[in-house]
Chain A
Amino acid sequence: MRKTLFESLTHGPLTEPAPQPDEADLAELAASVSRAARARLGRSLSIRHVDAGSCNGCELEIHALSNAFYDLERLGLRFVASPRHADVLMVTGPVTKNMREALLRTYNATPDPKWVIAIGACAVDGGIFAGSYAIEGGVKDVLPVDLTILGCPPSPTELLKGLVALLGHVSKKPNIP
């Protein structure tokens, strides 16, 4: 453990990794998110994830947001365990009929002001699962959606970009105290 910890201390953070096309965007995203988040929400935006029947691909990439490369929390964004602690519901999946009620209850348990992000192609309109007897056909058919992030699944960078867009949207919403 000592060796691993020591290496982490001496090698610097991975959040500035080897150059890649997206790295510049990422650094830019980090700066703009922290400005907007600071201004509107006291540096923090709490996110509650709800899987409304996804294939679990989106979950893998949402998980990746917390790894050392993307380190979501440095931006003031964090995942919380209860909708009662959340500002944002991040919904994945085509909303199966079996999950409709649970999704609605989670939304109702989230205090105002609140925002909903639909993540991934099937959360937009059912995607490849559209037309099935078992799905509602997208998050917007059940809840008011503030933002959609496309992709199957969206990459962590795309997710980060989307979260920035949401912060812009949040700042325009009239019910912010």
Chain B
Amino acid sequence: MGLLDTITYREMAKQHRPWPRAIVGDDGWRQAIERLADGRATLLGLWCDKTCVHMALLGERFDDIAVLSFDCKGGSYPSVGARHPPAIRLERAIRDLFGLEATSAPDTRSWLDLGAWDVRAPLGARRPAKTATPYAFLPAEGEGLHQIAVGPVHAGIIEPGHFRFTANGEHVVRLEQRLGYAHKGIESLMAFASLEHAGKLAARTSGDSTVAYSIAFARAVEAALQVTPSKRAVYLRALMAELERIANHFGDIGAICNDASFAIMHAQCGILRERILRAADACFGHRLMMDVVVPGGVISDIAADGPMQVRALLAEIRRTFPRLIELYDNTASLQDRTVTTGIVTADLARQFGAGGYVGRASGRGFDARRTPGYAPYGVLAFEVPVLSAGDVNARVWIRIREIEQSLSLIDQILSALPRGAIKAAVAGNGEVCEGLALAEAFRGDVLAWVRIDGEGSVARCHMRDASWFQWPLLEAAIEGNIVADFPLCNKSFNCSYSGHDL
């Protein structure tokens, strides 16, 4: 049964691909909310476009996607967050950026607007800013509680964000995040931008996932304009995506161990990460492979000796990594810190639709490469590792297993790398058209939605990072843990601040 079968809609958007977009009224919108609240669909995204709110839903088997659009006459829409908490922060962001109100929303505090902009609702009515009022953190009451305020400037080389802990002695009673410090207004910059410029902005939404973002953006544009990139291009994209994935996973595994003061893992993983970035540089001319993936394909081919360099890299990783896995697994002092620390329950992971290792360490086996799937992953063999413990240790093990899978994927890609062109022509087709795409970044699924005008410029683009649905789970995971374990928990999530704040 399709997602839209149980939802009343008025009409279908004509040029929305590859999944349908239905225009709904109050009844259809509420049916979708009930479906989310009952757990029969996952919220993939909630965003805005002038006075219209769009909700992307993912079906129970992960293979069906639909977008619902609700026109906010009178500047409001029925709150999704009131029945389905994962939507709360998205609704707060919509209110800050577009000025649209979610009726009977459970939390009406600002989210991205910290009171420093010259305008309110910069993407909507653009009203003059009001004087900033102090932010009311959620209360935690009880004997012997104290608060610890951390950030937005942190002690390490970390992105900006504020964490407000309420603790009883060493134990965290409540963590509340306050984000938005990295908000750059990317969505406003993307409006009316050329595809090339918008693509560069997409690539800089979260630098650690630049390849995944570029793939998501490119695929959304290609869906809208009905362009099919060449086989060689999609293989090269996948090669870059897997290199990016393992580079980040190595960085994370090392950093998690470092937060337990186990420096040798950090040093050894850092070496492997550096080797990957150097190989990426040798292959594609940029250590993070920024701006190589573009709508239509890729902008530059792999260097002539690239495949050889990558094969040498794989050999080196296969030689040293098993030893590091063993070291991680056999070091009791390290296990003491990671096992049973920061547990995310399977119910929460499912409810929030947590992607990446956060979801997969808590029993949610969603991987956008598998379902709904995209080229070339359909013809490549790989497993999606899933664990159920939901602790820091499980999130480390998911990364370890994913590195192994990615190594195999890279092998397969190099062996089957097709010949041919690397870029198809991309141009406006005289009509307004829309596209939606998911791409699996190392931390989870990135959603890209784009509307392109007849001339081939971006009219509106929305990118949703996996972090939107992972950050709230970090608040839940740390509860009852000691303050000193927060860095471990935080690093095991490694949510993006920039990708979230946009």
A55 touches B204 (CB 8 A): yes
Binds B, one of A34-42, A45-53, A138-146, A165-173: A45-53
A128 touches B201 (CB 8 A): yes
Beyond A14-B271, A57-B208, 13 additional contacts (C-beta under 8 Å) are: A54-B182, A55-B498, A60-B251, A60-B288, A63-B251, A67-B271, A68-B270, A82-B155, A97-B116, A128-B200, A133-B118, A133-B122, A155-B281
Inter-chain CA distance A74–B389, complex, in Å, is: 41
B117 touches A49 (CB 8 A): no
Residue of A67, A68, A79, A98 ringed by the most chain B CB atoms within 10 A? A98
B287 touches A61 (CB 8 A): yes
B273 touches A51 (CB 8 A): no
Is A117 engaged at the interface, CB distance under 8 Å to the other chain?
no
Is A129 engaged at the interface, CB distance under 8 Å to the other chain?
yes
With CB as the reference atom, state the residue of chain A lying closest to B331: A1
Inter-chain CA distance A51–B157, complex, in Å, is: 8
A134 touches B331 (CB 8 A): no
Number of B interface residues in the complex (CB < 8 A)? 56
Q: Chain B residues with Cβ under 8 A from A129's Cβ? A: 184-186, 189, 201, 204
Question: Chain B 85-119, CB within 8 Å of chain A: the 1/0 string?
Answer: 00000000000000000000000000000101111
With CB as the reference atom, state the residue of chain A lying closest to B267: A68
A132 touches B188 (CB 8 A): yes
| Known A54-B498, A57-B207; contact A153-B288, beta-carbon cutoff 8 A | yes
Residue of B274, B278, B330 ringed by the most chain A CB atoms within 10 A? B274
Q: Which residues of A, 75-127, contact B by the 8 Å Cβ criterion? A: 79, 81-83, 93-94, 96-103, 105-106, 122
| Known A4-B264, A101-B116, A134-B117; contact A53-B274, beta-carbon cutoff 8 A | no
Q: Give chain A nearest CB distance to B257 CB in angstroms.
A: 12
Inter-chain CA distance A133–B120, complex, in Å, is: 10
| Known A14-B271, A81-B156; contact A132-B185, beta-carbon cutoff 8 A | yes
Chain A contact residues, CB within 8 Å of chain B: 1, 3-5, 14, 20, 49-64, 66-69, 79, 81-83, 93-94, 96-103, 105-106, 122, 128-129, 131-135, 152-153, 155
| Known A57-B210, A106-B153; contact A128-B181, beta-carbon cutoff 8 A | no
Q: Chain B residues with Cβ under 8 A from A153's Cβ? A: 207, 288
| Known A97-B116, A129-B184; contact A134-B122, beta-carbon cutoff 8 A | yes
Is B393 engaged at the interface, CB distance under 8 Å to the other chain?
no
**17 A-B pairs with C-beta separation under 8 A:** A4-B323, A5-B264, A55-B207, A55-B210, A56-B206, A56-B498, A57-B207, A59-B159, A68-B270, A69-B274, A81-B156, A82-B155, A93-B182, A96-B183, A102-B160, A132-B186, A155-B281
Chain B contact residues, CB within 8 Å of chain A: 114, 116-119, 122, 152-153, 155-160, 180-186, 188-189, 197, 200-201, 204-208, 210, 251, 264, 267-268, 270-271, 273-274, 277-278, 281, 287-288, 290, 320, 323-324, 327, 330-331, 496-498, 501
Q: Chain A residues with Cβ under 8 A from B324's Cβ? A: 4
B182 touches A53 (CB 8 A): yes
B160 touches A67 (CB 8 A): no
Inter-chain CA distance A54–B181, complex, in Å, is: 10
Inter-chain CA distance A28–B264, complex, in Å, is: 28
| Known A56-B208, A57-B210; contact A98-B183, beta-carbon cutoff 8 A | yes
B207 touches A133 (CB 8 A): no
Q: Chain A residues with Cβ under 8 A from B270's Cβ? A: 64, 66-68
Q: Chain A residues with Cβ under 8 A from B496's Cβ? A: 56
B181 touches A133 (CB 8 A): no
With CB as the reference atom, state the residue of chain A lying closest to B210: A57
Inter-chain CA distance A71–B117, complex, in Å, is: 40
Q: Chain A residues with Cβ under 8 A from B153's Cβ? A: 50-51, 83, 102-103, 105-106
A128 touches B152 (CB 8 A): no
Q: Chain A residues with Cβ under 8 A from B160's Cβ? A: 51-53, 99, 102
Q: Give chain B nearest CB distance to A153 CB in angstroms.
A: 7
Q: Chain B residues with Cβ under 8 A from A1's Cβ? A: 264, 327, 330-331
Q: Chain A residues with Cβ under 8 A from B274's Cβ? A: 64, 67-69
A56 touches B288 (CB 8 A): no
Inter-chain CA distance A83–B154, complex, in Å, is: 10
